[in-house]
Amino acid sequence: MRLRKRTSPARRFGLLAVAAGLAAALGAAGARLAGRRRGHADGGPAASHPVGLSREETYTCTCGQAYRVTGVDRHRVYYPEGKDEPVLGTVCVNCDAPLPVGHDAAVT
């Protein structure tokens, strides 16, 4: 007669928890990829800029140049109004005034 080795309840519960965590992670990754294929991130409406992952704001320089702004803090990206190419520097394309950066920069 062959004896069968029993798995302890704690080990069984741990294995089930790991499997559930992996299933949840795979489901979330699949949903995010499906949202990207539809043209928008996280199931929200499609954005008008190429990145599509952050909310858009606007900023107007003292010279009157308007910008679409995406991202936050030091990851902020400025797009001159009517153009799809971002500003590569940290100054206004018209007057060379510094664009707001950092935690205390308020963009409205």
Do the Cβ atoms of 80 and 67 come closer than 8 Å? yes
β-strand pairing of 56-60 with 66-70: antiparallel
Q: Give dist(CA 55, CA 18) in Å, integer.
A: 34
User: pLDDT at position 37, please?
Assistant: 66
User: pLDDT at position 62, please?
Assistant: 93
Q: Where would I find the H helices in 5-107?
A: 9-37
> The pTM is what?
0.46
Do the Cβ atoms of 33 and 41 come closer than 8 Å? no
| Per-residue confidence in pLDDT tens, the chain, 108 aa | 666 677 788 888 999 999 999 999 998 888 888 776 665 544 444 444 444 455 778 999 999 999 999 888 888 899 999 999 999 989 999 999 999 886 555 554
Half-sphere exposure of 46 (CA within 13 A, CB side): 7
For 6, 41, 53, 83, the CA distances from 70, given in Å and listed in that order, are 56, 14, 9, 14
User: pLDDT at position 95, please?
Assistant: 95
